[in-house]
Amino acid sequence: MSKVNITPLDDRVVVEPQPAEQKTASGIIIPDSAKEKPQKGVVVAVGAGTKDVTMQVKEGDVVLYGKYAGTELSINGTEYLIMRQSDILAKE
């Protein structure tokens, strides 16, 4: 997990996506053209929330999110997603 120097506003979080699986459970190597977009990542920054939304995630949490959730951004060559807390489906 890397430290990012931005602070999301309101109920937004910054997530560093984990790399897509390289192999299946049975050992078959997945080619780049068949890989799915990652849906799991580590929270690297959390907003303060709003008067109606209490933040339930914190930095370092591993979260699952929807396939098309968030907005992609690149900071110092590292890819991140910024999304609302409501786009997060679960914590591990």
| Sign of the alpha-carbon torsion through 51, 56, 61, 65 | negative
Q: What are 4-60's pLDDT values in tens digits?
A: 788 899 999 999 998 766 666 677 776 666 556 668 999 999 999 999 989 999 999
What's the average model confidence in pLDDT over 72-83?
91
What's the average model confidence in pLDDT over 52-71?
92
> What's the Cα-to-Cα distance from 87 to each of 34, 82, 91, rounded to whole Å?
25, 10, 12
User: pTM of the prediction?
Assistant: 0.80
15-41 exposure pattern, b = at least 16 Cβ within 10 A, e = fewer: bbbeeeeeeeeeeeeeeeeeeeebbbb
Domain ranges (residues) in the chain: 12-20+35-91
CATH match of 12-20+35-91 with 1.20.120.450:
no
